[in-house]
Amino acid sequence: MDDLDKLRNEIDYIDEEMVKLFEKRMETVLKIAEYKKRKHMPIFHKDRETEVIKKNINYLKNKAFYEPTEEFFKKLMEISRGVQREQLKILEENEKRDDQLIIGFQGVEGSFSEQALIEYFGEKVTRKNVREFKDVFESLKNDEIHYGVLPIENSSTGGIAEVYDLLRQYGFHIVGEKSIKVEHHLLGVKGTKIEDIKEVYSHSQAFSQSSEFFKKYEEFKLIPYKNTAMSAKLIKDENTKAKAAVASNKAAKLYDLDIIASNINYNKSNYTRFIIIGKNLELHVNSNKISVVVATPHRAGALYGILRYFAENGLNMLKIESRPMINKSWEYFFYIDFEGNLNEEVVKRSIDLIKKGSSFFQLLGNYKEHR
């Protein structure tokens, strides 16, 4: 390798590091735009920009680069303002449509799904609750709602199989996600003592997440029900001390129930990830997570043939979940989450290769990851 090649390699490395830092800066710029929107602050602040440029020029060791550095930062600030303007447009458009949006969720008022909905969309949207997960998809299919909110994964008990299956069957897209910390409480009507309880109602996942607690009360009959908030409502309606529910603190307040035992889930860092589904694929500059579902030919090494593209192209795979194919024993659909944006060439190339190696491929969405 001659000296020129070495210098070019050094430039390539520096450029790669600059791109990483530029991306990090732009992500921070987006957050600043959101802050300015909340505080009604202008995008352009001349004194602040002058201060930033002057401060960074002072970091120079070689003052011969004074003018190019000044020009570089002026252009960078201009780009940052442009990104902020675009973000403010998106935020303002979202605000305008909030009053007209109808968002569907499974369950009743006080559920974790409703909490995720409010935290993602805000209070202004119209909320439509339905009984089953499938009803959210049907409501979206029939244009009764604009988006749906569904739980898809819990940090203690894993994926929710029914939601994965419905995603594939209906062909809708994931446009966002929200993680909610889940704390389960044992609830009963006013004056209930733990020795009064004979039956406990809740979603099966809530029972799984509270399994260590219920080992101490094997005499309780655990009865799976639609979801935690609907279980709390049932206990309120039944109005008997013999029945209790596992649900949230919000549900306890909403249905005027006593908390008999607090925070009974065994994992104190218990989170549920909710997805936002829509009819159309949505792609934004800050979309950094991609979800796909694939199936592979039933032969040795077929799955490896797909997964290797992630490693070979430097794509970080976040999750893989398998679901059995109906009427095909020991064959599976694989739901895969990985980092990336569909506008990136490496992502486009990888997806093309994955499609070619799959017997089934479906793009579920490209959205902003919530941590």
Range 185-264 has CATH code 1.10.3720.10: no
Banded model confidence at residue 97, pLDDT cuts 50, 70, 90? low
Alpha-carbon dihedral 277, 278, 280, 286, rounded to 10 degrees: -60
Domain 3-97, second-level architecture: Up-down Bundle (1.20)
Active site residue 272: yes
Of residues 133, 274, 310, 333, which has the active-site annotation? 274
pLDDT attached to residue 230: 92
Where on the phi/psi map is residue 72: left (φ > 0), alpha (ψ -120 to 50), or beta? alpha
Please tell me the distance from the alpha carbon of residue 361 to that of residue 292, in angstroms, as a whole number: 7
Q: What angle do CA 308, 312, 313 make, to 5 degrees?
A: 120
CATH fold of the domain at 99-182+267-280 = D-Maltodextrin-Binding Protein; domain 2 (3.40.190)
Where on the phi/psi map is residue 239: left (φ > 0), alpha (ψ -120 to 50), or beta? left
Q: Among all chains, which residue has been given the structure tokens 């709602």?
A: 145
Structural domain spans, the chain: 3-97, 99-182+267-280, 185-264, 283-371
pLDDT attached to residue 99: 64
**Poorest-pLDDT segment among 37-46, 91-100, 283-292:** 91-100
Question: What number is the average pLDDT over the span 280-286?
Answer: 88
Judged against a pLDDT cut of 70, whether residue 220 lies above it is answered with: yes
Active site residue 310: no
Judged against a pLDDT cut of 80, whether residue 98 lies above it is answered with: no
Please tell me the distance from the alpha carbon of residue 160 to that of residue 102, in angstroms, as a whole number: 24
- Note whether 99-182+267-280 and 185-264 share their fold: yes
pLDDT attached to residue 96: 58
Judged against a pLDDT cut of 90, whether residue 100 lies above it is answered with: no
Question: What number is the average pLDDT over the span 118-131?
Answer: 92
pLDDT attached to residue 50: 87
- The pLDDT > 70 percentage for the chain reads 98
Question: What number is the average pLDDT over the span 247-263?
Answer: 94
Q: List all residues 6 or more positions away from 341 whose beta carbon is below 8 Å from its beta carbon.
A: 283, 285, 287, 288, 290, 347, 366
Banded model confidence at residue 88, pLDDT cuts 50, 70, 90? confident
Question: What CATH superfamily is the domain 283-371?
Answer: ACT domain (3.30.70.260)
- The pLDDT > 90 percentage for the chain reads 65
Q: Which residues of 170-199 are buried (b: 16+ CB within 10 A; e: fewer)?
A: bebbbbbbbbbebebbbbbbeebeeeebee
pLDDT digits (tens, 9 = 90+) for 163-189: 999 999 999 999 999 999 989 999 999
Banded model confidence at residue 44, pLDDT cuts 50, 70, 90? confident
Judged against a pLDDT cut of 90, whether residue 214 lies above it is answered with: yes
CA pseudo-torsion sign 361, 323, 276, 137: positive
Question: What number is the average pLDDT over the span 302-321?
Answer: 91
Judged against a pLDDT cut of 70, whether residue 129 lies above it is answered with: yes
What average pLDDT is seen over the chain?
91
Q: Among all chains, which residue has been given the structure tokens 């969405």?
A: 365
Question: What number is the average pLDDT over the span 29-37?
Answer: 86
Of residues 272, 296, 333, 334, which has the active-site annotation? 272
Which amino acid type is present at position 315? Answer: L
